[in-house]
Amino acid sequence: LQVQANVEKALMLFGQMLTKKHFLLIFIRTLESQRSFSMRDRGNVASLIMTALQGEMEYATGVLKQLLSDLIDRNLESKNHPKLLLRRTESVAEKMLTNWFTFLLYKFLKECAGEPLFMLYCAIKQQMEKGPIDAITGEARYSLSEDKLIRQQIEYKTLTLHCANPENESAPEVTFKCLNCDTVTQVKEKLLDAVYKGSPYSQRPKASDMVLESMLKTASSPDSLRSRTPMITPDLESGTKLWHLVKNHDHSDQREGDRGSKMVSEIYLTRLLATKGTLQKFVDDLFETIFSTAHRGSALPLAIKYMFDFLDEQADKHSITDYDVRHTWKSNCLPLRFWVNVIKNPQFVFDIHKNSITDACLSVVAQTFMDSCSTSEHKLGKDSPSNKLLYAKDIPNYKNWVERYYSDISRMPAISDQDMSAYLAEQSRLHLSQFNSMSALHEIYSYITKYKDEILTALQKDESSRKQRLPGKLEQVIDTMSLAS
């Protein structure tokens, strides 16, 4: 108990030190100057700091602005192209920015943008499952991705099956559709989708836990109990290779003709375009929601206006008047840093399962989203990837939406310090108990242990740190923690 008390006391002291801006900035800068402080470490520290400061969002925002200002100064001094700013996540500041938006856009995502994102996911899943999906390769008859498109012609029939409700046998039967070329596991997945519609994916049974008690032969499907397509194809050179609908074509030792004749590009581009047309409304709805300053009665989150104004102030400070640079900073800051990740990974937001074909289709949508935020012209030719050709006619329109969005935001009245303080205080209150702050502090402290000498030296060299007696306070934390060990 005494050991635990010492740890808690030390971490409380350390937590108080993190709320001293001068200490936190020196701590971060010292870590970033260490060669052994990896990219993974930078991401971890940024996330842990934002977690530890969840109840101090106004303070965290001030620290973030200072780190971003330093990053911009370094970027421009090193003669890097200004457009590269915030392109990657190579600093604590960049990862903190991602987490800052994640905290502050949670309400907007939940109340506004989440719905069209979920509808897009459902539409993709439903459309893909209307046709055959190869259980081994993940390729599908319907796809937005050329890499995940079944090029062969596969004959199939749609079956309507009736299932007794496993939760309540006296309840009406559940009706669902599957294909006569589906694997047993695919049939079970579709059955579970029908029975547990609206239930979180993590709370429903897994297909592997379920056994189909009976599968009656029907007139519409003479092959429902057996498959004419073997599940495996023997390969004399390298043992056995599994296959479902299409023989594996990714191996150099594959015998010629194993995969059948491929359709020419024009034919399957037409198929991709047909699938794209089916999903167009859902993609448009999502993009329109994200790039609207007032959508369905939901006001633009203050965080977006605040950060975009900050970037404009930084551009003014450095006499950057190039429209493309300012546009690119904003795109790198929010759409490409936050929204692309959400579009590609809706399972981060919803309790759902994302299979490989859905993932491939969402990646095409995310790439289109990224292209829409770019200021450069996309020159298309016969060698352009299919995903660029697929949305070639839509991207100019999407680009107009992005430009109008940035322009509308810049014309909105600036947010007063008082309003921003109230907003951040409210956000702090909302997220106050969602994370374990003590655990986060313990994780951050592990970096003090690793770089103790370097951090203490940096504090002792700094006059302001000495005035605030920060070296002594940190040594007190270290001594208290050493008692616990």
Q: What is the CATH number of the domain that holds 401?
A: 1.10.506.10
* Residue pair 96/53 in contact by the 8 Å Cβ criterion: no
With 0-12 / 13-18 / 19 or more C-beta atoms within 10 angstroms meaning exposed / middle / buried, residue 184 is: middle
Sign of CA dihedral 80, 85, 91, 93: positive
Give CA–CA dist 18/443, Å, rounded.
Answer: 13
Task: Quote the CA–CA distance of 208 and 31 in Å, as a whole number.
Answer: 46
Helix (H) or strand (E) holding 94: helix 92-104
Whether 186 and 271 share a structural domain:
no
Question: Do 275 and 398 lie in a common domain?
Answer: yes
Statement to judge: residues 349 and 417 lie in one domain: yes
Is 42 among the domain residues? Answer: no
Structural contact between residues 43 and 85, judged by C-beta atoms closer than 8 angstroms = no
Q: Which residues pair with 149 in a beta bridge?
A: 140
Q: Examine the domain organization and report whether 274 and 198 are in the same domain.
A: no
Place of tokens 């490989």: 356
Q: Which helix (H) or strand (E) holds 332?
A: helix 323-333
pLDDT at 480: 86
What confidence score (pLDDT) does residue 142 get? 93
The answer to whether 67 and 76 are in contact (CB under 8 A) is no
Decide which of 212, 230, 254 is a domain's last residue. Answer: 212
pLDDT of residue 385: 77
In a domain, 122, yes or no: yes
Are 423 and 340 contained in the same domain?
yes
Pairing type for strands 239-242 and 232-235 reads antiparallel
- Start-to-end C-alpha separation, the chain: 13
Give the residue among 34, 64, 62 at the shortest CA–CA distance from 46.
64
> What CATH number corresponds to the domain at position 190?
3.10.20.90
Beta-ladder partners of 232: 242
The predicted-structure confidence for 258-309, as pLDDT tens digits, reads as follows 444 344 467 778 889 999 999 999 999 999 999 998 866 668 899 999 999 9
pLDDT reported for residue 225 = 42
User: Considering the domain boundaries, does residue 88 fall inside one?
Assistant: no
The last residue of a domain, from among 173, 189, 212: 212
Do 298 and 314 lie in a common domain? yes
267 and 405 co-located in one domain: yes
Contact predicate 409/25, CB 8 Å = no
Query: What does the pLDDT read at residue 214?
Result: 58
Which residue has 């956000």 as its token pair? 427
CA distance 199 to 192: 10
- The verdict on 283 and 387 lying in the same domain is yes
Residue 295's pLDDT is 65
User: What are the Cα distances from residue 316, in Å, to 163, 358, 413, 442?
Assistant: 65, 43, 17, 40
* Partners of 242 in beta bridges: 232
* pLDDT tens by residue, 153-196: 889 999 999 888 767 778 888 899 999 999 999 999 999 999 88
Assess if residue 77 is contained within a domain: no
In a domain, 401, yes or no: yes
State whether 295 and 312 are in the same domain: yes
The answer to whether residue 162 sits within a structural domain is yes
With H, G, I as helix, E, B as strand and everything else as coil, classify residue 239: strand
Q: Decide: 361 and 149 in contact? Cβ < 8 Å.
A: no
- Pull the structure tokens for residue 389: 């050709």
Residue 361, SS3 per DSSP? helix
Contact 135, 197 (CB under 8 A): no
Residues 294 and 391 placed together within one structural domain of the fold: yes
> What angle do the packed helices 265-290 and 395-411 form, to 10 degrees?
10
Q: What is the overall mean pLDDT for the chain?
A: 86
> Could you tell me if 112 and 169 lie in one domain?
no
Ranges under pLDDT 70 in the chain: 1-3, 166, 212-240, 248-265, 295-298, 382, 484-485
Residue 151: which of 229, 252, 265, 254 has the closest Cα? 265
Cβ neighbors of 197 (< 8 A, separation 6 or more) are none
Half-sphere exposure of 160 (CA within 13 A, CB side): 3
Position 172: which residue type?
Answer: P
Domain boundary among 411, 430, 449: 430
For the segment 444-458, what is each residue's pLDDT rounded down to a tens digit? 999 999 999 999 999
Domain containing residue 159: 154-212
Angle of helix 437-450 relative to helix 470-484, nearest 10 degrees, comes to 100
What is the total count of domains within the chain?
2
pLDDT at 80: 73
Asked if the structure places residue 82 within a domain, the reply is no
DSSP 113: I
In a domain, 412, yes or no: yes
Same domain, 408 and 290: yes
